[in-house]
C-alpha cells in the first residue's frame, strides 16, 4: 500500500531564493499583476509562490502618453513609462492588503539615479510582509545621459550595492536582455552582493503603422513581452545559470507549467508569469497545478530536482 | 468585485450586415452581474496569435442568462470571432469597467454612432425596466442613432423600436433618417436643460457632443475606447489624458467618464 500513499501526498514544490522560502516556484512578473488585488476574483492569491508588484519609484510617476501598448505577433510591446503611485503611497495604500495574504511580497523598485534606488530601499526597510526587493535596472540613468543601468556592469553593480546596503531581505536584481553578453552583468551584480537574479525584462522593440507612417507607440519604442520572447529568455537563463552561484529566476513568455519547467531545466530556481496574466488571469493557478501534477506523475521527490537538470550531450 | 473568467457557449452568431456581427452567448453568471456600459474581454482564438483578448461592450443581457456583443469586423481578432459557430466555446472575462450612472429615463438622451450603438441597447432596456418598476406609465428615453447608411443602421434601430422606443436616426449618406450627423439632430432637439446625455461612438462624434454639452452646461457621460491588454487595471496600457493633467485608465476608471473630465483636444 505504500506507493499509493506516496502518490496522494502533496508534492514538494518548495524552493528558496536566498533566505526566502517559497511554497512553490511560481511568482507574478512585475507590471503584469498590478498590486495583486486586481486579480483576487481570478486567482488564489494565497497559493502563489510570491507576488511581485508593479515597479515603484520614490515619487509618483504619471507614465507615458498613449498609445502605450500594441499587440505584435505572439507578443506585445509596452511603453507604460513606469507609471506608479510612488513608494509612500505603496506602503500606506497597497501593502496592508498584500501583507495580509500571507505570501511573500516582492517589491520591484526603479530609479533615475543610484541614490534614488538607495532611498526607496531605505523606505521599504522593515515594512512588514516584504519578502524581497527586486531591482529593475532596465531604467535610464539620468546622470549618465540616459544609458540604462542594466547595460553597464559597473552601474548595475553600484545600484546593487546601494540597495543591498539598506536591506535585510534578499535583493534580486532583474537583468536587462538588451545587452551583448548578459553573463557579464549577471556576474557583476553577484559580486556586488545580489542574492539572486531574475531575467529577462522586456526586449526593446518597435512597431510601425504603414498606413499612417507613424510608430504605433507614442514613445516610438517599447518592451516586447509574451510567448514571442520565450526562446531568447530561455537561452539567457541557461547562460546565466551556468556562471553564477546565486539563484536565477526565469521570466519571459511563461504561460503554462511546461513553459515554467523548461526554465527550471535551464537553471531557474523559480519563475515569473507575466503577459500571460492578461490573457488568462488565472494563469498562475494553472501553472502551479501543472507543476504539481508533473512532480506527482514523474514520482519526483521535489520540484527542485528540475533545477538545472537539462541534459546537454 | 464580481468578475469572472469563463468559457461559455456561443448560442448564435448573426450577420447583421456584411461586416457587422452579433454574437449571443449563454453566460448567465456574467449576465446577471452586468450593468449597462460595462464590457467583456473576449478571447478570439485559443492560440497565441492574436495574443490579447479584445474588449467589447455588453450589447444586451436577457433574463435567461444570454449575453450579446455587437461588433464590426476590423482586423484579425474580430475576423476570427465572426467565424465562431454556434455550439463552440469562447472564453469571456467580465463584467469589466464601471458602467453608466443611470438618471431618470424621461430626462435621458442616448446618442450612439456606428458600433457605439452596442452598449445603448442594454442601457435603454435598463431605463425601461427602471420606469416600469416605478409603477408609472413607461417613460421613454430619447434615442439618437447614427451610422454610415441604412444597411448598417436599420437593424439596430429596429431593436430599439421593439422596446417601444422611437429612434431619431441619422445616416452619413441620407439613405435612412436624417441626412447628416447625430450632433445636428441633437442641436435641433431643444432638450430640456435637465436632460443628460449618454454617448458612445467614434471619437470625433463624442468630442463634438462633449463640446456642445460643455457650452450648455449639460451632464454628459461618454464611453471611451482605447487599446487594452488586460481590461482589469493591471497593465496600465489603457491610459487617456485628463483635463486636469495626468492620466486615467479606461478599463478600471471607465470606460464611462463624465465628458468634462477628459482632454478632448488630442
Ligand atoms: C471598452 C471597449 C468597448 C468596445 N466595444 C466595442 C463594441 O461593442 N463593438 C465593436 O465593434 N468594437 C468595440 N470596441 C473596439 C474593439 O475592441 C476593436 O474593434 C477590436 O479590438 C479590434 O480587434 P481586431 O483584432 O479585429 O483588430 P486589430 O487587428 O487589432 O486592428 C485592426 C484595425 O482596426 C483598428 N482598431 C483597433 N481597435 C480599434 C478601436 N477600438 N476603434 C477603432 N479602430 C480600431 C486598428 O487600428 C487597425 O487598423 C470596444 C473597445 C473598447 C475599449
Ligand atoms: C505592461 C507591462 C509592464 C511591465 N512593468 C514592469 C515593471 O514595472 N518593472 C519590471 O521590472 N518589469 C516590468 N515588466 C516586465 C515583466 O515583468 C517581464 O519581465 C516581461 O514582460 C517578460 O515576461 P513575460 O513575457 O512573461 O511578460 C512589464 C511588462 C509588461 C508587459
Ligand atoms: S487595459 Fe490593462 S490596465 Fe486597462
| The pLDDT of residue B35 | 97
Same domain, B85 and B131: no
Distance CA(B202)–CA(B224), nearest Å, equals 9
Cβ–Cβ below 8 Å for B5 and A282:
yes
| The pLDDT of residue B134 | 59
Same domain, B115 and B81: no
Distance CA(A200)–CA(B117), nearest Å, equals 43
Nearest by CB to residue A34, choosing from B234, B246, B247, is B234
The architecture that CATH gives domain A15-63+82-202+226-306 is Alpha-Beta Barrel (3.20)
Nearest by CB to residue A41, choosing from B4, B43, B240, is B4
Q: Is A102 exposed, middle or buried (0-12, 13-18, 19+ CB in 10 A)?
A: exposed
Taking contacts as CB-CB distances below 8 angstroms, the residues of chain A near B2 are: 41
Nearest by CB to residue A69, choosing from B3, B227, B233, is B227
| The pLDDT of residue B136 | 57
Same domain, B85 and B117: no
Whether B103 is in a domain gets the answer: no
Cβ–Cβ below 8 Å for B235 and A226:
no
Residue ranges in chain A assigned as alpha helix (H):
2-8, 87-89, 95-99, 114-124, 153-164, 182-191, 230-243, 257-265, 276-279, 283-297
| The pLDDT of residue A1 | 44
Interchain CB contact of B50 with A (< 8 Å): yes
Residues of chain A with pLDDT under 50: 1-6
From first to last of its 266 residues, what are the pLDDT tens digits of chain B? 699 999 999 999 999 999 999 999 999 999 999 999 999 999 999 899 999 999 999 999 999 999 999 999 999 999 999 999 999 999 999 999 999 999 887 789 999 999 999 999 999 999 998 876 655 566 788 999 999 999 999 999 999 999 999 999 999 999 999 999 999 999 998 888 889 999 999 999 999 999 999 999 999 999 999 999 999 999 999 999 999 999 999 999 999 999 999 999 75
Mutate to test the interface with B, among A29, A57, A64, A68 (most CBs of B within 10 A): A68
pTM listed for this prediction: 0.95
CB contact set of A35 (below 8 Å; sequence gap of 6+): A53, A54, A90, A94, A97, A98
Stated as kind and residue range, the H or E segment containing B152 is helix B150-162
Q: How far is A228 from chain B, CA to nearest CA, in Å?
A: 9
A36: nearest Cα among A107, A98, A86? A98
Whether B199 is in a domain gets the answer: yes
| The pLDDT of residue B137 | 61
Cβ–Cβ below 8 Å for A32 and B3:
no
Same domain, B155 and B240: yes
Same domain, B149 and B243: yes
Distance CA(A114)–CA(B1), nearest Å, equals 40
Q: Which domain holds residue B9?
A: 4-96
Mutate to test the interface with B, among A279, A280, A281, A283 (most CBs of B within 10 A): A279
Distance CA(A140)–CA(B26), nearest Å, equals 49
The domain boundary, picked from B96, B121, B149, lies at B96
Same domain, B118 and B229: yes
Q: Is B238 exposed, middle or buried (0-12, 13-18, 19+ CB in 10 A)?
A: buried
Same domain, B125 and B253: yes
Same domain, B130 and B87: no
Q: Is any atom of ligand 2 closer than 6 Å to the C-beta of A108? A: yes
| The pLDDT of residue A141 | 79
Task: Establish whether this prediction's ipTM goes over 0.90.
Answer: yes
Taking contacts as CB-CB distances below 8 angstroms, the residues of chain B near A63 are: 236, 239, 247
| The pLDDT of residue A146 | 79
The domain boundary, picked from B65, B96, B127, lies at B96
Catalytic residues of A: 139
Whether B102 is in a domain gets the answer: no
Same domain, B197 and B219: yes
Q: For residue B32, what is the domain's CATH number?
A: 2.40.30.10
Question: Of the ligands numbered here, which is closest to the C-alpha atom of A68?
Answer: 2
Query: Are the CB atoms for A133 and A121 separated by under 8 Å?
Result: yes
Same domain, B115 and B235: yes
Same domain, B25 and B126: no
- In chain B, whose CA is at the least distance from the CA of A227? B48
Total structural domains in chain B?
2
For ligand 1, what atom is nearest to the CA of residue B228? 53
Stated as kind and residue range, the H or E segment containing B182 is helix B182-188
Q: For residue B212, what is the domain's CATH number?
A: 3.40.50.80
Taking contacts as CB-CB distances below 8 angstroms, the residues of chain B near A39 are: 232, 234
CB atoms within 10 A of CB B207: 17
Same domain, B183 and B54: no
Whether B101 is in a domain gets the answer: no
Residue A130's SS3 state is: strand
Cell matching residue A139: 531604467
Amino acid at each position: 500500500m505504500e506507493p499509493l500513499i506516496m502518490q496522494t501526498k502533496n508534492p514538494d514544490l518548495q524552493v528558496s531564493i536566498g533566505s526566502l522560502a517559497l511554497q512553490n516556484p511560481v511568482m507574478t512578473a512585475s507590471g503584469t499583476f498590478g498590486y495583486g488585488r486586481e486579480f483576487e476574483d481570478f486567482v488564489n492569491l494565497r497559493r502563489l509562490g510570491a507576488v511581485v508588484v508593479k515597479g515603484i519609484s520614490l515619487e509618483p510617476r504619471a507614465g507615458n502618453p498613449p498609445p502605450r501598448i500594441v499587440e505584435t505577433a505572439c507578443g506585445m510591446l509596452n511603453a507604460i513609462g513606469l507609471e506608479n503611485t510612488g513608494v509612500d503611497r505603496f506602503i500606506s495604500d497597497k501593502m496592508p492588503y498584500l501583507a495580509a495574504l500571507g505570501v511573500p511580497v516582492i517589491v520591484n523598485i526603479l530609479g533615475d539615479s543610484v541614490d534614488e534606488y538607495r532611498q526607496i530601499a531605505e523606505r521599504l526597510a522593515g515594512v512588514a510582509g516584504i519578502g524581497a526587493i527586486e531591482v529593475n535596472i532596465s531604467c535610464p540613468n539620468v546622470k549618465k545621459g540616459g544609458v540604462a543601468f542594466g547595460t553597464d556592469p559597473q552601474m548595475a553593480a553600484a545600484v546593487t550595492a546601494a540597495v543591498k546596503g539598506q536591506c535585510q531581505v534578499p535583493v534580486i536584481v532583474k537583468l536587462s536582455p538588451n545587452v551583448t553578453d548578459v553573463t557579464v552583468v549577471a556576474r557583476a551584480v553577484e559580486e556586488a552582493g545580489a542574492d539572486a537574479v531574475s531575467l529577462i525584462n522586456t526586449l526593446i522593440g518597435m512597431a510601425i503603422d504603414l498606413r499612417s507612417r507613424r510608430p504605433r507607440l507614442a514613445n516610438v519604442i517599447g518592451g516586447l513581452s509574451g510567448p514571442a520572447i520565450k526562446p531568447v529568455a530561455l537561452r539567457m537563463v541557461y547562460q546565466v545559470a551556468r556562471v553564477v552561484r546565486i539563484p536565477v529566476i526565469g521570466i519571459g513568455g511563461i504561460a503554462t507549467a511546461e513553459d515554467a519547467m523548461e526554465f527550471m531545466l535551464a537553471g531557474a530556481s523559480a519563475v515569473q508569469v507575466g503577459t500571460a496574466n492578461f490573457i488568462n488571469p488565472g494563469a498562475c493557478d494553472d501553472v502551479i497545478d501543472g507543476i504539481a501534477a508533473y512532480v506527482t506523475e514523474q514520482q519526483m521527490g521535489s520540484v527542485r530536482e528540475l533545477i538545472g537538470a537539462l541534459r546537454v550531450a | 468585485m464580481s468578475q469572472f473568467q469563463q468559457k461559455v457557449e456561443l448560442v448564435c452568431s448573426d450577420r447583421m450586415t456584411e461586416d457587422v456581427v452579433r454574437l449571443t452567448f449563454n453566460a448567465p453568471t456574467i449576465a446577471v452581474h452586468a450593468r449597462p456600459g460595462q464590457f467583456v474581454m473576449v478571447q478570439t482564438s485559443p492560440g497565441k496569435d492574436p495574443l490579447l483578448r479584445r474588449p467589447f461592450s455588453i450589447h444586451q443581457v436577457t433574463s435567461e442568462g444570454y449575453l450579446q456583443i455587437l461588433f464590426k469586423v476590423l482586423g484579425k481578432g474580430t475576423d476570427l470571432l465572426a467565424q465562431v459557430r454556434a455550439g463552440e466555446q469562447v472564453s469571456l472575462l467580465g463584467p469589466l469597467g464601471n458602467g453608466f450612472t443611470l438618471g431618470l429615463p424621461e430626462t435621458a438622451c442616448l446618442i450612439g454612432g456606428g458600433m457605439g450603438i452596442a452598449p445603448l441597447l442594454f442601457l435603454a432596456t435598463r431605463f425601461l425596466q427602471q420606469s416600469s418598476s416605478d409603477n408609472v406609465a413607461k417613460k421613454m428615453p430619447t434615442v439618437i442613432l447614427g451610422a454610415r447608411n441604412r444597411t448598417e443602421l436599420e437593424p439596430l434601430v429596429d431593436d430599439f423600436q421593439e422596446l417601444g422606443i422611437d429612434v431619431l436616426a441619422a445616416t452619413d449618406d441620407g439613405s435612412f433618417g436624417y441626412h447628416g450627423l447625430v450632433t445636428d439632430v441633437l442641436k435641433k432637439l431643444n432638450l430640456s436643460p435637465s436632460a443628460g446625455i449618454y454617448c458612445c461612438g467614434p471619437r470625433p462624434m463624442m468630442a463634438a457632443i462633449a463640446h456642445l454639452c460643455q457650452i450648455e452646461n449639460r451632464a454628459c457621460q461618454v464611453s471611451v475606447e482605447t487599446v487594452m491588454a488586460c481590461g482589469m487595471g493591471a497593465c496600465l496600457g489603457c491610459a487617456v489624458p485628463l483635463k486636469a493633467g495626468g492620466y486615467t485608465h479606461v478599463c478600471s476608471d471607465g470606460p464611462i467618464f463624465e465628458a468634462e473630465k477628459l482632454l478632448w483636444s488630442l
